[in-house]
Amino acid sequence: MLQGLFLFLAFLFVFCFPSTNLQLFDGLPLSRLYEFGALVLLVPFLIFSDLRTEQMVFWKRLKIRPVYLWITLAMILLLKGILLASGTHTGFSACYRSVAEPTSITHEDLPPRGCERSYENLLDRFSATRLDSSIWFLPDTWNLVFLNTDRYNYYDWEPGNILRERIPLQAIWSGVPEVQPGDTVRIEYAGEGTVAWGDSEIPLPPSYGASNVVEFTPSPDGAPVRIDYTFNDGSRSGQDPQSWGPRATIEVSAGKPGHLVPLTAKDPPPGWQATALLADVLILLWLVSFLPVLVRSVRRDFLALIVFTIGVGLLSLVPISPLIREIGITISLAAFLTVHLAIRPFRPVTIYAAVIAAAFAILHVWSSGWGQVLLRSAGNDPLTFESQAYSIFIKGSLEGGDTVFYQQPMFRYILFAGHALFGDGNVLYSVAQLAAFFGGIFWLFRMARKQTIPTIQSIVLIGLGCSLVFLGGYYVSNTIREGLSEYDTWVLLLWAFPALYWLSSSGIILGGSALAISYTIRSNQILGILWILFLTFARAWRKQRKTVLLAGVLIVGIALLPLIHNLYYGHQWVLVATSGDIPANLTLPPSTWFAFLQGDPSAGSAIREQIGMMFLIAKVSRSIVPTLAVMAFIFIVWILATGYWILRREKNLWTILVAPLFYLAPHFFYQINNYYPRHIVIAYLSMAIVTVIVLIRRLPDLPVPSEPAVEYPQ
């Protein structure tokens, strides 16, 4: 029903349309928890057509015609546009920058700015980095995304370098504060600065060895304030940390003695507040109208969903080791999957809610706040990726920090899109990605159905499913938090391979496009991607020739995007990136293999070490052992399944089962010891995927596709 789809897409557009921070739902970025929650409510209606149909029926029963809904959306958009054009806002206008000299090893030349940019202020309004509701910052709550750039790639293992956690910082806050006659203002800080309040100027004397407190009685109500703050304690790597004082801190509070609260800014005139409130109420009416249909869609699974959600929520809060909590949440989701496969299949919306709850719980264990900006360490890929995404943002250019791609191309754009959608912080973006990984696992099993009599196949299927859940909760979640680039390819493979295998027209187009995007994220996966596409197109060619041709055009177009970029910005014919053949990546060049064939013992040692790592025989830290154990289980099951179907000479099955070998093949040449085992996870993930697909195909009763999202009344 296209009308319903267009209606929900229009609501998504209106919901994301930028406004003023007077609104609760002020549009992009959706960086506040309740905004993310509203998006979570909306997304199922974009995914499940049955849910949209039921929502349209629900509105019809209430005598709400589509024209009324369109008028409401137009009203919300008009109100948001008026608020945006007015320039009115609440909070303090905050300008942040660093006086630190850019490192000499910077990868890009970002333009200097008086105020650095922030994704929280996407449109670069008010000549400010962002708007702060209060001036209350502890060492780990500044959340300044511009510090995650290569300009500040200071190697802390080299003596005399600036420490990234203690980078010199300058901040200016201005606004009209909310104070009452007789109030006292208290400023506790580490650093130095001045306060200009009306006609008065109050110094904040330098204080770096310990925090200092300044108290004063402010000017009459209505006077503007400007607070200039600087932190630059001269700390450098190689010094004795005991000689340092606290890190950058400033806490500004006001009120009567003994009842001080964080200082806030005056609210704008009531008319603007009323306009913002009206827009929020209209959005809330839409969101509330979704609830009856959503509740109905999970009615059969309601008790199980409530128990699961409360369980993982409590696990994320109990005062025990974060690692134990993470594992407990992961085991809970594995149990949920087991019930789904072995006892009672859950509805799609139930699964959607469960994977988001699990992702929230796991990320909450490791986060100190939903808006937290993780300060990436120097000399590593995550800092470079964040810097490239910031370059797209600050320059407004798809150049992305490279005229000719040096690193893999696509991840910087995905990271930029994530920040534009969810703001400076890394946590909400990580929740969405981890939920997509968990959702992909359930998607992989969508053609499986509970067996009335347990069989070896069904037991192995459950074991593989639980292994994938554990891999996601224990390892993939940490990879996402660390900001490495491979995990997007893992998510895409989980969704693309099953879609391609079952040969629906949309599955071929979307799955093929997803694999093409995977290639632009990690080009070393090209052999595995080509093998999967070859098998798919060979099976589909006779009956779905037009679909195959359309998918082929899209795949080639996506795969050529890096070349187009390199030609446009760098005027060079570089197909993907230029870093593939550098010595650090090409661990086993052909010369090493020739030397090995001639009996060179050092070459043999290097090759044995590389192959050992490919097949999980490597010395690793204790934290990696559970990951390798799960991968080893997947490997054993895959080996047994592949051997069995080869012996049975079922070519249509073993040609699928050998796909992981094509993912492993590049690592007979390219390194895998950096961030081990992230480079080979894709191969072991594909082992699990192909084995699950083959086992589902061989189950006694092949099921129909997934059930509707909504159970209709009889």
* Residue written as token pair 């053949």: 581
pTM of the entire predicted model: 0.93
- Residue 714's pLDDT band (cuts 50, 70, 90): very low
Half-sphere exposure of 670 (CA within 13 A, CB side): 17
Task: Answer for the pair 507, 444: CB distance below 8 angstroms, yes or no.
Answer: no
- Residue 705's pLDDT band (cuts 50, 70, 90): very low
Over range 479-500, report the average pLDDT.
93
pLDDT recorded at residue 103: 81
pLDDT recorded at residue 226: 95
Alpha-carbon radius of gyration of the chain: 28
Task: Answer for the pair 184, 254: CB distance below 8 angstroms, yes or no.
Answer: yes
pLDDT at 111 over 80: no
Report how far residue 517's alpha carbon sits from residue 525's, in angstroms, rounded to the nearest whole number: 11
DSSP codes of every residue in 628-668: HHHHHHHHHHHHHHHHHHHHTT-HHHHHHHTHHHHHHGGGG
pLDDT at 454 over 70: no
Peptide bond into 677 cis (omega under 30): yes
pLDDT recorded at residue 530: 96
pLDDT recorded at residue 449: 65
pLDDT at 253 over 90: yes
Boundaries of every domain in the chain: 2-88+269-295, 92-262, 402-422+481-697
pLDDT at 703 over 50: no
Beta strands in 421-517 (DSSP E): none
Over range 357-381, report the average pLDDT.
90
Interacting residues of 15 by C-beta distance below 8 A, sequence separation 6+: 25, 27, 38, 39, 42, 283
Over range 97-108, report the average pLDDT.
79
Helix (H) or strand (E) holding 231: strand 225-231
pLDDT recorded at residue 108: 66
Q: What is the pLDDT of residues 257-288, one digit of tens each?
A: 888 999 999 989 999 999 999 999 999 999 99
Beta bridge partners of 590: none
- Residue 710's pLDDT band (cuts 50, 70, 90): very low
Lowest mean pLDDT among 373-382, 395-404, 453-462: 453-462
Over range 602-627, report the average pLDDT.
90
Query: In Å, how far are 142, 194, 201, 212 from 94, measured between CA atoms?
Result: 12, 15, 19, 22
For the chain, the first-to-last Cα distance in angstroms comes to 21
pLDDT recorded at residue 212: 95
Report how far residue 686's alpha carbon sits from residue 204's, in angstroms, rounded to the nearest whole number: 59
Q: CA 580, 582, 585: angle at the middle one, nearest 5? A: 65
pLDDT recorded at residue 650: 78
Q: How is residue 235 written in tokens?
A: 């700390």
Over range 170-198, report the average pLDDT.
93
In this structure, the number of other CB atoms found within 10 A of the CB of residue 318 comes to 11
pLDDT at 701 over 70: no
pLDDT at 301 over 50: yes
pLDDT recorded at residue 450: 60
Q: CA 543, 547, 553: angle at the middle one, nearest 5? A: 140
Task: Answer for the pair 279, 23: CB distance below 8 angstroms, yes or no.
Answer: yes
Helix (H) or strand (E) holding 214: strand 200-216
What does pLDDT average to over the chain? 90
What percent of the chain has pLDDT above 90? 69
Q: 338 — alpha (psi -120 to 50), left (phi > 0) or beta?
A: alpha
Report how far residue 573's alpha carbon sits from residue 184's, in angstroms, rounded to the nearest whole number: 66
Over range 407-435, report the average pLDDT.
94
Query: In Å, how far are 437, 510, 532, 617, 618 from 550, measured between CA atoms?
Result: 27, 11, 17, 43, 44
Most confident of 131-135, 255-259, 399-403: 131-135
Interacting residues of 558 by C-beta distance below 8 A, sequence separation 6+: 513, 516, 517, 519, 520
pLDDT at 709 over 50: no
pLDDT at 711 over 50: no
Report how far residue 402's alpha carbon sits from residue 386's, in angstroms, rounded to the nearest whole number: 13
Q: CA 244, 249, 252: angle at the middle one, nearest 5? A: 150
What percent of the chain has pLDDT above 70? 95
Report how far residue 21's alpha carbon sits from residue 93's, in angstroms, rounded to the nearest whole number: 12
Over range 226-250, report the average pLDDT.
93
